[in-house]
Structure 1
Amino acid sequence: MIFAAGLGTRMRPLTDQRPKPLIEVAGRSLLDRALDLARQASAAPIVVNTHYLGTQIERHLQGQDIAISREAGQILETGGGLRHALPLLGDGPVMTLNPDVVWTGPNVLTALAGAWRDDMDALLALVPLDRATARQGAGDFSLDAGHRLIRRGDHVYAGAQIIRPDRLAGIADTAFSLNRLWDLLIAEGRAFGMIHPGGWCDVGTPQAIPLAEALLRG
């Protein structure tokens, strides 16, 4: 699942008339870059959720084998959005991907799939804070000796994961962050991290676009 429903407020004014996933970096939209990763990893089915200026995203995807999970009314955030899309995704662990980042190095989804084990309920891709280009703020996680997630630390969630969505049914709210599910899994020792060895850039603001393009050139 590719999360494409957000309002893109940090990317204004570029998102005043265009949704953030259609912003281009080095001549290619963020959404298309995310789709490249998903297809190279043989992910199927591929689902994209929409909300803000969603008709533009649907037109962009027209004719492609992509399912659309429309979020009419309120935006559902990552947890509510994933739960809403489950009828399109089917059973079992799900890959999720934020499109507003760029990567260099190995395909992060392929790497996650290779590292996934049956004792995991979540496996998050991480990058060290000192390699997190354009990141604003502190880190998110650290890892114990068994690569289990610990809240707070010098690693950043990189916007890609594999997660079992079963426990989403037990969360009463309609709109909520996947952080809610992560906290449950961390408490049970079933949430893990994988450090991505390549480059990474958070393309969340207009100022980050040239940094992302420089990373890709390098």
Structure 2
Amino acid sequence: MKAMILAAGRGTRMRPLTDVTPKPLLTVRGTPLLDRLIGQLAGAGFTDIVINVAHLGENIRAHLGTGARLSVHISYSDEGPAGLETGGGIRRALPLLGCDPFLVVNGDIYTDYDFTRLPTSLAGLAHLVLVDNPKHHPQGDFGLRDGQVTDIAPRFTFAGIGVYQPALFAGMAEDRFPLAPLLRRMIARGLIGGEHYRGLWTDVGTPERLAALNAEAR
């Protein structure tokens, strides 16, 4: 299975850090988030990785190159300076991801999730990993019942980890669009499965959360 890391976001809430450094290259205890994530993926057998780039994308290319340093092969999906949001970014990268289900991971999360537990085949169009709601997102995103993602409370937070069928994006134009509305349409049709993960997970979305992670690491 191929993996895609989403790394094209502007990281506005992380400014001024992200004025000069792409958010996935910010460090926890000296290691860039992106390096740590790629190491986890490689350890789980994901060695063919696609990374989408936009804001300061040249920094990511210069840092990772072909991926050989981290024992993976990296292909890049360039979205130009503005980026295409999550849905549009995945849609643009489909030619690099192939015809089989593929993993997509947000490049700005810090987790100990074991990627080997993900399904390699899907009954529906996607499998989402959900986590307990953090303080900054108490309302959650999706419900979960008997392995099926729902829109019914109680809701959990989408972890930014999912396996997708290319068919999920059938009919979507190669344009800028968010992923969540597409997922909600498919959830209403009963086509999205999922799991609840209770381990370590942080959305490194603000300088305060990054500082907290570094304090915990020390």
Provide the TM-score with structure 2 as the length reference: 0.88
- Separation of aligned partners in 2, 1:11 and 1:137: 20
Aligned position for 2:70: none
Deviation track 1:146-190 (CA, whole Å, cap 9, x = no partner) reads 221122533110110101122313124611111132123202211
- Which runs of 4 or more aligned residues in structure 1 lie more than 4 Å from their structure 2 counterparts after TM superposition? 214-217
Shift of the 103–73 alpha-carbon distance from structure 1 to 2, 3 Å rule, reads: closer
Percentage of pairs with the same residue:
40
Consecutive unaligned residues of structure 1, counting only runs of 5 or more, are none
Deviation track 1:35-78 (CA, whole Å, cap 9, x = no partner) reads 12221221242000100011000001114221011111531111
2:89 to 81, 85, 109: 81
Shift of the 86–44 alpha-carbon distance from structure 1 to 2, 3 Å rule, reads: farther
- SS at structure 2 position matched to 1:80: helix
- SS at structure 1 position matched to 2:198: coil
Shift of the 143–212 alpha-carbon distance from structure 1 to 2, 3 Å rule, reads: same
- Separation of aligned partners in 1, 2:106 and 2:147: 22
Deviation track 1:62-115 (CA, whole Å, cap 9, x = no partner) reads 1422101111153111111111111111111110000211113x41x22223xx
Aligned position for 2:63: 60
- SS at structure 2 position matched to 1:15: helix
Aligned position for 1:150: 150
- SS at structure 2 position matched to 1:176: coil
Aligned position for 1:175: 176
- Separation of aligned partners in 2, 1:119 and 1:170: 20
Post-superposition shift, 1:214?
Answer: 4.8
Aligned position for 2:125: 121
Aligned position for 1:95: 103
1:70 to 75, 78, 88: 78
- Separation of aligned partners in 1, 2:138 and 2:11: 18
Aligned position for 2:195: 194
Answering whether residue 12 of structure 2 is matched by residue 9 of structure 1, we say yes
1:111 to 107, 114, 117: 117
- Separation of aligned partners in 2, 1:150 and 1:214: 36
Aligned residues of 2:6 and 2:51 also touching (Cα < 8 A): yes
- Separation of aligned partners in 1, 2:205 and 2:217: 16
- SS at structure 2 position matched to 1:38: helix
Aligned residues of 1:126 and 1:193 also touching (Cα < 8 A): yes
- SS at structure 2 position matched to 1:60: helix
Aligned residues of 1:123 and 1:162 also touching (Cα < 8 A): yes
Aligned residues of 1:19 and 1:53 also touching (Cα < 8 A): yes
Aligned residues of 1:101 and 1:200 also touching (Cα < 8 A): yes
Aligned residues: 209
Aligned position for 1:45: 48
Moved more, 171-180 or 46-55: 171-180
Consecutive unaligned residues of structure 2, counting only runs of 5 or more, are 68-72
Shift of the 136–188 alpha-carbon distance from structure 1 to 2, 3 Å rule, reads: closer
Aligned residues of 1:135 and 1:202 also touching (Cα < 8 A): no
- SS at structure 2 position matched to 1:167: helix
Deviation track 1:110-146 (CA, whole Å, cap 9, x = no partner) reads 2223xx55313211111112xx3x64452111112x2
Moved more, 75-84 or 147-156: 147-156
- SS at structure 2 position matched to 1:81: helix
- SS at structure 1 position matched to 2:202: strand
